[in-house]
Amino acid sequence: MGLVQNLSGVKDGPAPQSGTTMPLLAIVYFSISGTTEALAHAVARGAAGTAEIALCRIVGHDIVSGRFQNENLLETIDGADAVAFGSPTYMGGAAAQFKAFADASSDRWSAQRWTNKIAGGFTTGACAGGDQLHTLTYFSILAAQHGMLWCGLDIPGGEDPGGRNRLGSQLGLATHLVDGVLPQSDLLTAEYVGQRLARMAGRNS
Quick count: other Cβ atoms within 10 Å of Cβ 18?
13
pTM of full prediction above 0.75: yes
Domain map (residue ranges) of the chain: 4-204
SS3 label, residue 51: strand
DSSP state string for 132-201: HHHHHHHHHHHHHHTT-EE----S-TTT-TT--STT--SSSEEEE-BTTB--HHHHHHHHHHHHHHHHHH
Residue 11 has pLDDT above 50, yes or no: no
The second-level CATH assignment, the architecture, of 4-204 is 3-Layer(aba) Sandwich (3.40)
pLDDT at 10: 33
Model confidence over 136-179: pLDDT tens digits? 999 999 999 999 999 999 999 889 999 999 999 999 999 999 99
Give yes or no for a contact between 36 and 187, defined as CB atoms under 8 angstroms apart: no
Distance of CA 175 to the CA centre of its chain: 14
pLDDT at 16: 47
